[in-house]
Structure 1
Amino acid sequence: MARKMLIDGELDKANEQEIQYDYDLFVIGAGSGGVRASRFSAQYGAKVAICELPFHPISSEVLGGVGGTCVIRGCVPKKILVYGASYGSELEDARNFGWELNENIDFNWKKLLQKKTDEIVRLNGLYKRTLSNAGVKLFEGEGRVVGPNEVELIQLDGTKISYTAKHILIATGSRAQRINIPGQELAITSDEALSLEEFPKRAVILGGGYIAVEFASIWRGMGATVHLCFRKELPLRGFDDEMRAVVARNLENRGVNLHPRTNLTELVKTEDGIKVRTDHGEEITADVVLFATGRAPNTKRLNLESVGVEVDRRTGAVKVDDYSRTNIPSIWAIGDVTDRLNLTPVALMEGTCFAKTVFGGQATAPDYNHIPYAVFGIPPLSVVGLSEELALEKSNGDILIYTSTFNPMKNTISGRQEKTVMKLVVDAETDKVVGASMCGPDAPEIMQGIAVALRCGATKTQFDNTVGIHPSAAEEFVTMRSVTRRVTGHKAKTNL
């Protein structure tokens, strides 16, 4: 494949002398991936342009903003709200550490909301300056592909201008989806949830993924009554089952009302709020109903199929090869719009690899192994590598499971009854640690370092030989000596 791309590059160089383009690269979408790809491509000497929709905290088909979902209506504002929600329990715990606090502690939602908005506006401006400093030309407007080497830009006043480019990169991300039930227009998505003018005292959340769990933690931490409805027995489908159970237990212990194996059937506007009906015959009244039911690649208005770009008919995702190239050699795609692994750092990696491949002379495919990620609930869950279930599915032999469940030192004084749980999944034959997970305070901060170890192929023996930092929760990862259980992989069972 690398050789084929080099041949393509040689042909491109020959054609360059015959065809003059306005730009070497035109990027549609200035989210994390698009900005990274355009900036790095410019550093390699490419003439680059990028377009993005006008800024607004709540996205639509005609509104977006430089920085994209993560910066404006995703990771960054969400984490700000998580911090805000965490202070409620921190203040409760502080009393047992000697802090004398007034009995009445008020929470000002509007103040936090304004601080959040100020920050995303600042970041939007910072991203624009970053593009400018890299020599990337930024256009504000809607971009669509009208040819293998042509982008049409629809400006704010409706006028259309076409630009030619040797390469076109699609980086338009994804958008939150709604489910089709009566009254669906009464619900909101994560976009609106991050910009609500009034704090919801009663909330119903439909979904069991990242966004659902995180908003359940946020709103409950701020004092709301929260009902979380999801289709499976546990939230966070696809994660390690043991850790999913820990998250569910923590949500319940912090006061979130869980409704497993539950779907919503109807929303009705009443004088008292929104009446929510479930498929179990329950009726719940809420101020806000959040649909956290997944996201879809943002491809509907790009005109891709008319140009011949292959798109997944079910999801709308742009189909790409290992190097992020579509079936049209001059058109590429990265980030959530490809529906590979939808995480901001992954989009950044894909953008970096694209720039290296196309303009850096290094055919570089993204590597999706050992990517760490986190669910910023309260407390957070973070993982890297294989879950126990996936390790068993892939294994030709036995898997060793090491776990540690303990009361964090802070909780021994505060009195909070909430355990931290850590887990290592080890290949019994090679001694390699193939998966790690943690649910507890600072889990994402700790797991970033564990991810480096797993990427380097660390063994359980090397974990054991590493000196811990005491007293810390992190040291538990290097002091788990006793095997919790030994299990045989599915492949090994099949081969018997």
Structure 2
Amino acid sequence: SSCLELNVECNSVELDLMDNGSNYQELLLEMTGQKTVPNVFINKTHVGGCDKTMQAHRDGLLKQLLDGETYEYDLIVIGGGSGGLACSKEAALLGKNVMVLDYVVPTPKGTTWGLGGTCVNVGCIPKKLMHQTALLSTALQDARKFGWEFDEAVKHNWDTMKTAVNNYIGSLNWGYRVALQDKKVKYVNSYAEFIEPHKIKATNKRGKETFHTAAKFILATGERPRYLGIPGDKEYCITSDDLFSLPYCPGKTLVVGASYVALECGGFLAGLGLDVTVMVRSILLRGFDQEMANHIGDHMEEHGIKFVRKFVPIKVEELEKGTPGRLKVTAKSTESDELYEGEFNTVLIAVGRDACTGKIGLDKVGVKVNPKNGKIPVNDEEQTNVPHIYAIGDILEGKWELTPVAIQAGKLLARRLFGGSMAKCDYVNVPTTVFTPLEYGCCGHAEERAVELYGQENIEVGFCKLLISIRNRVIGFHYLGPNAGEVTQGFGAAIKCGVTKEQLDDTIGIHPTCAEIFTTLGVTKSSGGDITQAGC
């Protein structure tokens, strides 16, 4: 009917009426990744089956193909972070003409950085390097107990560390630019915004504007730290965006927030020998297993980090300029009229992040956005409500905010769009690690969520900590201890393969390690038994 509607002459090949129809079908599978019919081509461009053709009709793509309307690019990716880069490189490998736009809006303190997104520049990479620096301090203290003798007082030089971290990040930025060139992806350091469904305006830092069109778009703009919206926050405080290249040692620091960013930063600053206080509104590590979260808090407190619980800042004042200066923080209790006042050299805000979707013209093209948090709802193919616009990474509503997830989703999306693949990203069994002083690795459900999904009577908990469903499947893994990332990765693979408690019991542990405990867990939480280890 749409053929008649569009008044198009079309040529159809009936495979079931041909002697060698099945050969054609095999060949089509190879060319298009599709074996089913109808299999529609327009002017040598593969459209797909009936659903895809109808979708292309609704999308306006059919009309463009029939009119021979061409776009400058097959794909424009907005955002040069982990997800955007992975997606654009994969699409280019599949023979597509791809452009990536990336632009870092400076922080209120004026901090900016190069290509590669949050993770590389102001996230996982510098965080892990600074966490590692703090672990070296613990190792030095332990070393003396095992006979290492050194006389001079050991002190840490912030500037040396900052330079080493920033040099490493600089080499990564360079590597990304080279990789894009090698794969023939066009990279532009400009801020992109939609002005029409298939057209964007790109503005560079000198304010020069250019315009570009594409058949498809992928939004990968990520998030930036949220501020408190109180007097003095943007003027005097910093966020993780500023911390890793801070030109001076932060001195006595107040960390506001209980996110993993807050606890990780507070943890390594304390590990460098600084006086650290963490101000927490309600609970630690919301969304993570609360029993594990509280163990992390206890461990941090035992190691000299002060917690101010159930308080929120209401103003920050500058007492003295400097590098660092002196600030006065006033906070109020969430439960009474009690006020708290404290003096610090640096105030680090880590209360969550907001999606960078507000100023990229999504309203002009009708992409639906959650007004509360700026996040974008998508279907299980990462497609927005506008069929030729997709989104990946931290801006997705209800999905993980993790680098490897964005990379995986980006690659798989490019393969589905341009390589005939059907594989979708798995957002459930995602292993992750929080690099607090006592590291925390987990995969699958937190206990609270498992109980919500399966019911208390269908869940058994072995501590250190596995969550086992009634069918003996491992649906949650939680580990507190050294090298949590290295340990969790292997268990992440096992859970992806559907590992059961028996299979873990049948696995021989590597001795002496911390991870071997998962091959011998015998005490369930409901039994109330003692879990203290007594020898092998």
What TM-score results when the alignment is normalised by the length of structure 1?
0.89
1:425-451: per-residue Cα shift (whole Å, max 9, x none)?
111x20111111011111111011111
Residue 193 of structure 2 is aligned to residue 135 of structure 1: no
Q: 1:126 aligns with which of 175, 200, 207?
A: 175
TM superposition shift of 1:159: 2.1
Question: Contact (CA 8 Å) 1:214, 1:375: kept in 2 or not?
Answer: yes
In structure 2, how many angstroms separate the alpha carbons of the residues matched to 1:59 and 1:319? 29
> How many pairs are equivalent?
465
Q: 1:52 aligns with which of 85, 92, 102?
A: 102
In structure 2, how many angstroms separate the alpha carbons of the residues matched to 1:99 and 1:7? 72
In structure 2, how many angstroms separate the alpha carbons of the residues matched to 1:471 and 1:171? 43
Q: 1:401 aligns with which of 447, 454, 461?
A: 461
Residue 329 of structure 2 is aligned to residue 273 of structure 1: no
- 1:318 corresponds to which letter in structure 2? I
Q: CA 1:353/1:73 → structure 2, altered by over 3 Å: closer, same or farther?
A: same
TM superposition shift of 1:6: 3.6
Q: 2:232 aligns with which of 178, 183, 186?
A: 183
TM superposition shift of 1:317: 1.6
In structure 2, how many angstroms separate the alpha carbons of the residues matched to 1:261 and 1:294? 17
- 2:407 corresponds to which letter in structure 1? L
Residue 215 of structure 2 is aligned to residue 166 of structure 1: yes
1:160-219: per-residue Cα shift (whole Å, max 9, x none)?
111110001111111111001122121111111112111122000110011100011011
Residue 467 of structure 2 is aligned to residue 425 of structure 1: yes
Question: Contact (CA 8 Å) 1:27, 1:34: kept in 2 or not?
Answer: yes
Q: 2:402 aligns with which of 340, 343, 348?
A: 343
SS in 1 for 2:311: coil
In structure 2, how many angstroms separate the alpha carbons of the residues matched to 1:61 and 1:42? 34
Q: CA 1:440/1:112 → structure 2, altered by over 3 Å: closer, same or farther?
A: same
1:101-141: per-residue Cα shift (whole Å, max 9, x none)?
22400111000000111111110010111111111111121
Q: 2:285 aligns with which of 236, 241, 253?
A: 236
In structure 1, how many angstroms separate the alpha carbons of the residues matched to 2:522 and 2:507? 12
SS in 2 for 1:263: strand
Please name the residue that 1:194 is paired with: 244
After the TM superposition, which of the residue ranges 447-456 and 3-12 deviates more from structure 2? 3-12
Residue 385 of structure 2 is aligned to residue 327 of structure 1: yes
Q: CA 1:60/1:334 → structure 2, altered by over 3 Å: closer, same or farther?
A: farther
In structure 1, how many angstroms separate the alpha carbons of the residues matched to 2:145 and 2:204? 59
Please name the residue that 1:465 is paired with: 506
SS in 2 for 1:358: helix
1:378-412: per-residue Cα shift (whole Å, max 9, x none)?
12111111111111111144311111xxxxxxxxx
Alignment of structure 1 residues 44-83 onto 2, 5 Å:
44-53=94-103, 65-83=114-132
In structure 1, how many angstroms separate the alpha carbons of the residues matched to 2:53 and 2:315? 57
TM superposition shift of 1:55: 9.5
TM superposition shift of 1:250: 0.9
TM superposition shift of 1:60: 9.0
In structure 2, how many angstroms separate the alpha carbons of the residues matched to 1:62 and 1:483? 49
In structure 1, how many angstroms separate the alpha carbons of the residues matched to 2:467 and 2:494? 13
Please name the residue that 2:34 is paired with: none
1:240-275: per-residue Cα shift (whole Å, max 9, x none)?
121011101111011100112121122121137111
Residue 329 of structure 2 is aligned to residue 287 of structure 1: no
In structure 1, how many angstroms separate the alpha carbons of the residues matched to 2:166 and 2:349? 22
In structure 2, how many angstroms separate the alpha carbons of the residues matched to 1:61 and 1:266? 22
Q: CA 1:361/1:9 → structure 2, altered by over 3 Å: closer, same or farther?
A: farther
Question: Contact (CA 8 Å) 1:169, 1:331: kept in 2 or not?
Answer: yes
In structure 1, how many angstroms separate the alpha carbons of the residues matched to 2:104 and 2:484? 36
Question: Contact (CA 8 Å) 2:217, 2:390: kept in 1 or not?
Answer: yes
1:31-83: per-residue Cα shift (whole Å, max 9, x none)?
10000000001111111111112697x69999553101111111111111111
SS in 2 for 1:370: coil
In structure 1, how many angstroms separate the alpha carbons of the residues matched to 2:91 and 2:204? 25
Question: Contact (CA 8 Å) 1:5, 1:363: kept in 2 or not?
Answer: no
In structure 2, how many angstroms separate the alpha carbons of the residues matched to 1:477 and 1:117? 38
In structure 1, how many angstroms separate the alpha carbons of the residues matched to 2:242 and 2:206? 26
Residue 89 of structure 2 is aligned to residue 29 of structure 1: no
CA-based RMSD of the aligned residues comes to 2.1
- 1:77 corresponds to which letter in structure 2? P
In structure 1, how many angstroms separate the alpha carbons of the residues matched to 2:458 and 2:358? 46
Question: Contact (CA 8 Å) 2:315, 2:331: kept in 1 or not?
Answer: yes
Q: 1:449 aligns with which of 483, 486, 490?
A: 490
Q: CA 1:473/1:62 → structure 2, altered by over 3 Å: closer, same or farther?
A: closer
Please name the residue that 1:493 is paired with: none
Question: Contact (CA 8 Å) 1:216, 1:228: kept in 2 or not?
Answer: yes
SS in 1 for 2:382: coil
Question: Contact (CA 8 Å) 1:398, 1:486: kept in 2 or not?
Answer: no
Residue 418 of structure 2 is aligned to residue 365 of structure 1: no
Please name the residue that 1:406 is paired with: none
Alignment gaps of 5+ in structure 2: 1-47, 333-337, 529-536
Residue 365 of structure 2 is aligned to residue 315 of structure 1: no
Question: Contact (CA 8 Å) 2:83, 2:393: kept in 1 or not?
Answer: yes
Q: 2:307 aligns with which of 241, 252, 258?
A: 258
Once the two structures are aligned, what percentage of the paired residues are identical?
A: 33
In structure 1, how many angstroms separate the alpha carbons of the residues matched to 2:357 and 2:204? 19
Q: CA 1:101/1:16 → structure 2, altered by over 3 Å: closer, same or farther?
A: farther
TM superposition shift of 1:99: 1.0
Question: Contact (CA 8 Å) 1:52, 1:65: kept in 2 or not?
Answer: no
Please name the residue that 1:419 is paired with: none
- 2:330 corresponds to which letter in structure 1? R
Residue 516 of structure 2 is aligned to residue 475 of structure 1: yes
Please name the residue that 1:43 is paired with: 93
In structure 2, how many angstroms separate the alpha carbons of the residues matched to 1:249 and 1:315? 31
- 1:113 corresponds to which letter in structure 2? K
Q: CA 1:42/1:284 → structure 2, altered by over 3 Å: closer, same or farther?
A: same
TM superposition shift of 1:92: 0.3
Which structure: larger Rg?
2
